[in-house]
Every structure is written in C-alpha cells, then in structure tokens.
Structure 1
C-alpha cells in the first residue's frame, strides 16, 4: 500500500509525517538520528493491519526543532502528544525503537490516557559512567565546513557505528556483531543526519540524558511490551530493567523478525480507530500526480493560486528564495523519483508540471535559469560508494558552480563573478543536499533545453 506524506502545524512548529494503510491507528516513533523514512519498509508490511502514522521527531527529517536546544526528554514527549492533538487523535497504540521507545515511555508516564499500548524495541538503562561518557564524546557538533571536511567525518562515523559501540571507542572490546559496509544502508543514515544538521544533538542528547522512566511496580498503566534481539546493543539492558508494572513484560528474542512479530501481535490486540481525517498544513504538502509516465507524490510549498516557480536541474524548491509557490520535480527535493529510468523528453516533464499547476491553481509557471555545459559532465553519477566519495564529489561541484561556468572548466576563461556570501558553508550545505537527492538532474536539463527551443520556435 502506498505511503503518503504530509505536513501539519503543531503550535509554531511544522511537523512532517508519513501515513499508510487502513484500520486502527498505530503511531510509530523513530530512533535517533533517523527520520520516519526508516519505517517505510515496516509501514508497507504493517499497513494491511493498521493505519500507520510515522512522524519525524523534532529536529529530525523535515520537522522543525524544538526552540530549546537543551530540551529534556519531557519536552519531546509533550511534543508527541501535541502532535496527536493536531492530528485529532485521542488515544493511540504506539511502536518505538531505541530512542523512539524512550520518548514513548516518558509520554506514557506523563500522559497515560493518550496511549492504549506500547511496543518497544530495546529500552536503554544507562549507568552513570556510560551516561557521562556519552555526554563527553557521543554527540560532537555537526556543522558544514568550507571544503566539505564534515562529510568525510560523517560517512565514517555512520559506517563505524555498526563496527563499534559506542562508535568512538575503537578498541577490540567494543567490537559489534552486526558490522557491515553496505553503502546504501550508510547513505540512508547519512541523509537523515544531513537533514537534521546540528539539531541532531538536541533529540539524541535528550534520550541519552533521560532517566529510567518505567513506573513503579504495581502502578496501573497501558500494556507495554519491550523486546530486544540478538545483536542489539540494548539486549543486555533487558536484565537492567528491574521490577515492572503488572501490564508490562520484557524479553529477549532471537531476531529482528521475531521482535517485529511480537510487537505487532501485542499492538493489534489494542490499537484503536482514529479520526476520518487527520490535520494537515494548508501551505505545504504533497500532490499525488498520475500521468502516463509518472505516478507519485510531488512536494509543494507556498500559496495556492500564485505563480508557480520551477527549480533548475539538480536543485530544489528550498533554494528558490522568495517564490510564492514552488514544487520539487520528480527525482528532486522531497518528491518521488521517476519510476524506472528518468525521461529526457520534454513531454513527460511538461505533463507533470501542468498537472501540478492545475492541482495548485497556479496563475502561471516560471522557471529557474539553466546552467551552461554538457549534461553528462554537469551531473555525473552520485551513487553511494563504499568510501563515501560521492558526498565530497557533490560538495566540490556545488562550490565550483559558484566560481566557474561550466563548473567543470576551472580556468580563467570560464570564471564568473560571484558573491562570497554564496560560498557560506550553510548555503553550500543546502545546495549539496539538493544535488545528492537529485536522481534526474541530467534528464531535466535536457528536457528544459528542448522547452526553450520549442518556445523560441513558437
């Protein structure tokens, strides 16, 4: 079943969430430093039993951070309940993995009437010594650097977190049994970290600082199941849980599949129906576009009925400063990719743009200027590789593009005027993220150039 994506305003913050399925509602809270994207496979699997709702926690994915960078775990728990209010959900069953479970247990303790049941994958009970070590080393500042040095650190930090725990403790005693070198898996976490930026420290730090929130034995609560599988660093914490309330249970299981099966069986007995319609923002969202060559979600932002601005190849609507209404094209920004190979014929792109303009009531459509150069050279492959070189390659491209046209000809004949402010690392970071998200930049450039030829001949 298709996963849809939405934005909703929760007080002064904007929250992004994914939704799929039908039936009773299941809230799914991700771990740090991930986003709701990590639950896409599980949502596809569980959507035949639940209406799955997976938000991006504050500061992660595409949700605004909390105003206080030192917010405690209670603030993240309250933000989750505020989201339930904004969505119109009175009571819900919920699933959380690792830090997602920490947030849920705190939310249950603070707002017991809002939860029908919890299923938790691994619940951390840190010692004072462990917590002190985390505070010193686990969450270094993460800021973009002028030449992309931060990307080398990021790739290796995410890769080696499956080799050692904690990730910075590179010694034989910290080796893990789940080590891998899969660039696709590393890339997924890297992208979530790039979305969060330095805000990752707030949400991650809150759960690492959190105390044991389990109610005292004998306290009546909604049923809670905690499981942890072989290889999970939190499996040994099952032995640290201590006495549990009567409706709580905890056990070790053999595999992730066993954990998921136990969780879904526990939740299916207690999940409750939700509202017919969930809350949603009125100035940002996703249009479902179905044309001959495309069937997917197109991200948009702005005022319906205004002139619609379309970004250039390898870019995204976030870079269109001052646009009253804008979209991310297929294979760009937050929009879905083209199914299969992206087309380079102008007709396929134009039908999607026209469909978006009609759905959003756009008064007219305008386009961002195009780069000069050969499409294949302007937009080389940026597929994730074993050593993360695609990240620094993309950074070098967006930096050089401010200095030369085309960027790949770095000589006096191709140098262009530039504003030094455009080379600020924060700005380059936004352009870099747009470029690595782009899976159809080359094809959009070819199509746009054909559009200009057609317009010139008409």
Structure 2
C-alpha cells in the first residue's frame, strides 16, 4: 500500500499551524477537501493518483489538525490562507483538485492568485439561490459545544448519519431525500471524529463557503483552465445549470458516477498539470510524524531531549513535555503490531536518551477500556463519554462506590475537558488495553 506521510507547517510570520498529508511522486497536485471534513477524506484517492502526482492535501483552517483563522473569516480569507500555505510549502505553480466546498475555496484562490495554479478540477460547484440560502439560515450551522452529560453526541451522530439521507440535512421531507443514502457506521464515525476535532470552529469554515458570492471568473478572465463535473446522486448536480458563462478555457458537464468524475478529473489534470517533479516540501522541525517500519508515530518537542515522555493508556501526549509522542494506536499515531518496538524505534529516531514509561492505572483492563466498536446507533460515543466523566470522580472509574472516590477537580469536569478525554478514548479504542498490558509487563505487574 502506498504510504501517506503527515506533516505540520507553521506559516511564516504567524503562529498558525497547517497539517497536511502527502504521497506519490511527480508534479505537485494540491487537493482541497470539503467542509466539515479534513484531508483524511482524500486518503483513498491520494493512493490512486499517487503514480501520477505528488498529492498534497492540507487540512483547511479550523478543520482536522490545522489551526483556525482569527475573527470571522470569509471565503477570501480562506483563499488567502491557501495561498500562504502554497508559498510556505514551496511547491510553485501546480495543479489543484477540490470537491464541493473545496472547489469553492479553490475558485476564490484562483481569482486572487491565478499564477499559483496550472489547472483545476472540481467535483460539484454550489450556486445557491436566495430561497435556498433562506432555508439554510442558522439551521444549517448550529452552535456545537460539548455538554456535561454528552447530549451533544446524540445530535452529532444523527446529524452526520442523516446528511446522506436529506439535503439540507435538517429538511426531513420526501422532496429533500438524496439518492446516496447509507447507514455505514464507519463512514459516520470518520465524520464524527472530524467534527470532534473542529468543535464549534466548523461554523467559520463551513459558513464562509456557504456565504461566498458565486461570482465565477468572467468569459475573458485570465485564469488557468478548469473542469467542473458532478455525478448522479450528488445534490450539486443540478447546480451545473446555474454556473452561467464560464471562462473560455473552463468546461462543466455531468457524469454518471463518482468513478467517472475521478477518471475525467485525473485525465484533465494529467493533460494540463504536468511539469517538473515536486520539490522538497517545507515542514516544522518541532512536530511531525515518524515514518517507521511500524507505522506513523506522531511526535512533538525537541529532538535529542534526555527523555521521551509517554502518556497513560486511552490518553494522548502531554504537550508540556520537552519530547513526547502519541503512543501507537493513540492520538494521531497509527497502529503498530508491536507497540513496544515502535516506541523504542521512535525514541531512537528522536535521539532520546531514555523512555519515561507511564504507570498503568489501577483496575481491570477489561473494565477500564470498554468496547468502543462503532455501532449503528452511536451508543459507543456515550460509553466513551460516560467513562471519561466518571474517571474524574472515581478510581478506577467503573468502581462507583464510597471506597473509590477521588478528590473532585472542577477543571476535569468541564465539558471541554471531558470532550478531550472522550476523543482520546475513541481514538485509542481497543489499543488502550494492549498498551496497558505492555506497561504491566514493563513494570512487572
């Protein structure tokens, strides 16, 4: 399988971090995801296109692992941020691909700085009517904040499940039904985790796209060529007829399937987006992912520090440490067949003199880490939340009795704090139990 690497890049002159994925070889291809998703949605497509391009997919501001923009950004701010990323990355003029709102950001960017792009392929381009925008209103982007008892997760599960059933997602009428309905728990879970990463910042990025004026470049605009296609079942298919006059080197037409959309997009990009191989790409020196034979390991801090700090099971790295990793299977690290060997390899690669192994918590591992397998009704989300709330009251958390109370720390019971712990549990899943057993062996337990 083609390896996708992950990187962090701080935009010069700012403290804003951008996370991006990369794979493949050949000319650079910039891939901009839709909202409220992240670059993770392109992993399968990146592997397919890797033989033809060096695929580079950033998380747009406020999504995935990228920092949000300040204040109340509009589409021009997201376009400018994309241009800043390209400049900082050092890729020069390149081809670009965007799906839905990713295409809206690209069109805004190509109008601002056409010299950055050689060509552009877009999957579906929204042109909302005034009536549709009125229907969207505030209902489409409600405030989304963690609540003390996890009620927000019930809404989130159904919101992400039903967005393939109706469009807009809240318009529960036969006339609003979509032809791409599914009930795949894994697909819903991926969208859930991306929303848990973004939090309420999702409203800024998504809202900027929805409010963006649909003033496409005029017929004589000096812009690079573009192809816009939409497939059967895509709610934006009817929007192809709303595009109006396009630049002479742009074209738009329907296709039958997502596969046909991808095939035509790739052929278009290959025809016009060729060029020099992708140069070496810039990335931060104090955070990244180690591409080890055991998998990708997320790290942060100072290489060569005396100690590599490890977090406890079902948690994530402590950002206050001089050098830390997300243990394989936890946080932003991939899984590893041998967790211990992966940790040792990471310590060696980072130049740490020793490993500060965490101490496993007291309790039965089978009870400390409940089954968080994704299910059709989203019950696993509430198991993660309940455990993360109870662990601020009892030790072990599942032993809710007078003999197991711990001193209350009000900060640990803030919904945002529970949210972070629940997200860490969900990311770790059953890997937390494996890591716990490793720590028991190391400590002679």
> Shorter chain as normaliser: what TM range?
over 0.9
2:131 match: secondary structure: helix
Q: Name which of structure 1's ranges 361-370 and 235-244 shifts more when overlaid on structure 2.
A: 361-370
2:402 match: secondary structure: coil
Matches within 5 A, 1:152-301: 152-271=154-273, 272-290=275-293, 295-301=294-300
Cα distance in 2, alignment partners of residues 175 and 243 from structure 1: 30
Q: CA deviation at 1:334?
A: 0.6
Q: CA deviation at 1:304?
A: 1.3
Matches within 5 A, 1:26-425: 26-68=29-71, 70-271=72-273, 272-290=275-293, 295-306=294-305, 307-317=307-317, 320=318, 322-339=320-337, 348-425=338-415
- Gap change, CA 1:410 and 1:422, over 3 Å in 2: same
2:182 match: secondary structure: coil
* Contact 2:25–2:278 (Cα < 8 Å) also in 1: no
Q: Which 4+ runs in 1 deviate beyond 6 A?
A: none
Q: CA deviation at 1:275?
A: 4.4
Aligned with residue 438 of structure 2, among 431, 444, 447 = 447
Cα distance in 2, alignment partners of residues 147 and 426 from structure 1: 11
In the TM superposition, what whole-angstrom CA distance separates every residue of 1:424-457 from its partner, at most 9, and x where no partner exists? 1111111111110004100110110110118xxx
1:269 match: secondary structure: helix
Cα distance in 1, alignment partners of residues 345 and 358 from structure 2: 19
Cα distance in 2, alignment partners of residues 30 and 240 from structure 1: 22
Q: CA deviation at 1:276?
A: 2.6
User: What is the aligned length?
Assistant: 439
Q: Name which of structure 1's ranges 42-51 and 302-311 shifts more when overlaid on structure 2.
A: 302-311
* TM-score of the superposed pair, with normalisation by structure 2: 0.97
2:427 aligns to what? 437
* Contact 1:60–1:196 (Cα < 8 Å) also in 2: yes
Cα distance in 1, alignment partners of residues 64 and 438 from structure 2: 31
2:443 match: secondary structure: helix
Q: CA deviation at 1:133?
A: 2.6
* Contact 1:109–1:215 (Cα < 8 Å) also in 2: yes
| Unaligned stretches of 5+ residues in structure 2 | none
* Contact 1:89–1:274 (Cα < 8 Å) also in 2: no
* Contact 2:330–2:428 (Cα < 8 Å) also in 1: yes
Cα root mean square deviation, aligned: 1.2
Cα distance in 2, alignment partners of residues 383 and 106 from structure 1: 40
Q: Name which of structure 1's ranges 114-123 and 330-339 shifts more when overlaid on structure 2.
A: 330-339
Q: CA deviation at 1:114?
A: 0.7
* Contact 2:311–2:326 (Cα < 8 Å) also in 1: yes
| Unaligned stretches of 5+ residues in structure 1 | 340-347
Q: Name which of structure 1's ranges 225-234 and 8-17 shifts more when overlaid on structure 2.
A: 8-17
Cα distance in 2, alignment partners of residues 255 and 417 from structure 1: 58
Do residues 19 (structure 1) and 22 (structure 2) align?
A: yes
